[in-house]
Amino acid sequence: MLDNKGFDLWADGYDKAVGISDEENTYPFAGYKEILGRIYQTIMEKPGATVLDVGFGTGTLTTKLYEKGYTIYGQDFSSRMIELASQKMPKAQLFQGDMVNGLVVPLLLQKYDFIVATYSLHHLTNEQKEVFIRIMLERLNEDGCILIGDVAFETRRELEKCRQETGEEWDQDEIYFVAEEMKRTFPELEFEKVSYCSGIFRLSRKKESAYNAVHD
Residues 6+ apart with CB under 8 A from 54: 74, 75, 76, 99, 103, 115, 116, 117, 120, 121, 136
CB 7 within 8 A of CB 57: no
Q: What does residue 94 show for φ and ψ, rounded to 5 degrees?
A: -115, 135
Instruction: Produce one character per residue of 23-42: b if its CB has 16 or more CB atoms within 10 Å, e if not.
Output: eeeebbbbbbeebbebbbee
At 141 the pLDDT is: 97
At 1 the pLDDT is: 42
- DSSP letters, 5-21, are HHHHHHHHHHHHHHHHH
Beta strand 198-204 pairing with 190-195: antiparallel
At 7 the pLDDT is: 33
List the chain pLDDT tens, one digit each, 216 residues: 434 433 333 334 445 566 566 678 899 999 988 999 999 999 999 999 999 999 998 898 999 999 999 999 999 999 999 999 999 999 999 999 999 999 999 999 999 999 999 999 999 999 999 999 999 999 999 999 999 999 999 999 999 999 999 999 999 999 999 999 999 999 999 999 999 999 999 999 875 555 555 555
Using DSSP's 3-state secondary structure scheme, residue 116 falls into strand
Using DSSP's 3-state secondary structure scheme, residue 91 falls into coil
Q: What does residue 136 show for φ and ψ, rounded to 5 degrees?
A: -65, -40
At 23 the pLDDT is: 78
Report all structural domains of the chain as residue ranges with CATH numbers, in order of start: 4-215 (3.40.50.150)
CA dihedral of 27, 30, 112, 145, whole degrees rounded to 10: -100
